[in-house]
């Protein structure tokens, strides 16, 4: 029997397979397909201080082995989440990670206070959403701003703070070191990569926002490379995500340095994907004779 348990910033996950923010709602929809207690954790749909309607449609475009989205952080707001969704989520037998986005560092702080008090297990600070005009992405692309938001979040949290990095930067290790220096307990990556699809007949972008964030199997090698770079640059644990659709994909992410992984867009193709990824990962560990899945983390043998 392989021990699948991992520790991410002091939080014990029963296994290293979580689901990525924005791909799993607040859990209710996919909870009809499988028992959510099988997951290592759930990172909920990105929350903001005030409710947001999000961007106009079309918000979705298919790409080779992937997709673009420009949902734009549609959510009911942090208070409604705490009142209507969190009590149910906390009863699902898995770790609940609240993903937050703010327009100012103070907004991040205010959300962290509310969510810590409400009893989430961990906070994932999104400094990397490519689909909102203010805040989000700018914080994720400038080390000093990323550090400022991280400090603010840490100062107002009583639970571990994980910072989610944007891949839309020249050197992701600069940002990783900045947020680690500011006290981040963990780092998650990657968010989506900015992309564009054009309808050649109408000559218009498919997305109403023109551009959106690329996810799906197409981004896996970029995510693996970035996890490897960040793992080499910082000491905090990493939640790796981007294109994971199988146990082998998850194992690559762990070998590159991740402590746990998140399954995202793959769930849209196959609602059972997170469970299947876990089963395949477990079988892979067994096949390699490992006693614990943690033996994979950072065990890459680079040339």
Partner 1 sequence: MAKQTIGVIAEMRRLNPNAWSMILDVGDFVRGTFQAPGQFVHVRCGKSRLLRRPISVCSCDPSPAGDQLRLVFEVRGEGTAWLARRRLGDHIDVLGMLGNGFSMTEEGRYLLVGGGIGVPPMLGCLQYAPKRCDAVLGFRDAFHALLIDEFHARCTNLSITTEDGSMGEEGFVTGPVERLLKENRYAAVLCCGPKPMLKAVAALAERYDTPCQVSLEERMACGVGACLGCALPMADGSVKHVCKDGPVFLAGEVDWNG
> Is there binding between residue 106 and partner 1 (CB under 8 A)?
no
Among 3, 12, 35, 62, the residue binding partner 1 under the rule CB under 8 A is 62
Nearer to partner 1, 24 or 139 (CB): 24
The DSSP bridge partners found for residue 97 are 43, 122
> Is there binding between residue 91 and partner 1 (CB under 8 A)?
no
Burial letters for 205-214: b for 16+ Cβ neighbours within 10 Å, e otherwise? bbbebeebbb
> Is there binding between residue 71 and partner 1 (CB under 8 A)?
yes
Residues 122-161 that bind partner 1 (CB under 8 A): none
The beta-strand segments (E) located in 94-229 are 95-100, 122-126, 161-164, 186-189, 193-195, 198-199, 204-205, 212-215
> Is there binding between residue 88 and partner 1 (CB under 8 A)?
no
Nearer to partner 1, 6 or 39 (CB): 39
The rounded distance, in Å, linking the Cα atoms of 240 and 236 is 12
Considering just the CA atoms, what is the radius of gyration of the chain in Å?
A: 18
Q: Is 67 exposed, middle or buried (0-12, 13-18, 19+ CB in 10 A)?
A: buried
> Is there binding between residue 30 and partner 1 (CB under 8 A)?
yes
Tell me the window of 55-63, 108-116, 169-177, 226-234 that interacts with partner 1 (CB under 8 A): 55-63
Active site residue 129: yes
How many CA within 13 A on the CB side of residue 7? 4
List 129, 165, 169, 253, catalytic entry: 129
> Is there binding between residue 269 and partner 1 (CB under 8 A)?
yes
Residues near partner 1, by CB under 8 A: 22-25, 29-30, 32-33, 45, 53-62, 64-67, 69, 71, 74, 206, 216-217, 265-272
Active centre residues (catalytic): 129
């Amino acid at each position: 029997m392989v021990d699948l348990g991992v520790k991410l910033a002091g939080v014990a996950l029963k296994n290293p397979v979580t689901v990525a923010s924005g791909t799993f709602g607040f859990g209710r929809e996919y909870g009809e397909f499988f028992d959510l207690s099988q997951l290592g954790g759930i990172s909920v749909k990105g929350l903001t201080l005030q409710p947001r309607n999000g961007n106009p449609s079309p918000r979705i475009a298919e790409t080779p082995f992937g997709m673009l989205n420009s949902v734009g952080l549609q959510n009911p707001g942090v208070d409604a989440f705490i009142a209507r969704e969190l009590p149910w989520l906390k009863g699902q037998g898995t770790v609940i990670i609240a993903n937050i986005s703010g327009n100012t560092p103070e907004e991040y702080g205010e959300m962290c206070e509310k969510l810590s008090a409400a009893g989430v297990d961990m906070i994932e600070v999104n400094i990397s959403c490519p689909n909102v005009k203010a805040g989000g992405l700018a914080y994720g692309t400038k080390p000093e701003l990323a550090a400022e938001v991280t400090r603010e979040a840490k100062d107002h949290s009583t639970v571990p703070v994980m910072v989610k990095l944007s891949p839309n930067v020249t050197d992701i290790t600069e940002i990783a070191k900045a947020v680690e220096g500011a006290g981040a307990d963990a780092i998650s990556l990657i968010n989506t990569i900015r992309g564009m699809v054009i309808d050649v007949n109408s000559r218009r972008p498919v997305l109403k926002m023109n551009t959106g964030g690329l996810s799906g199997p197409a981004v896996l090698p970029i995510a693996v490379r970035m996890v490897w770079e960040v793992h080499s640059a910082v000491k905090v644990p990493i939640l790796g995500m981007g294109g994971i659709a199988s146990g082998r994909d998850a194992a690559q992410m762990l070998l590159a340095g991740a402590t746990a992984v998140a399954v995202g867009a793959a769930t849209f193709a196959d609602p059972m994907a997170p469970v299947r990824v876990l089963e395949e990962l477990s079988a892979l560990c067994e096949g390699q004779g490992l006693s614990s899945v943690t033996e994979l983390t950072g065990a890459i043998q680079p040339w």
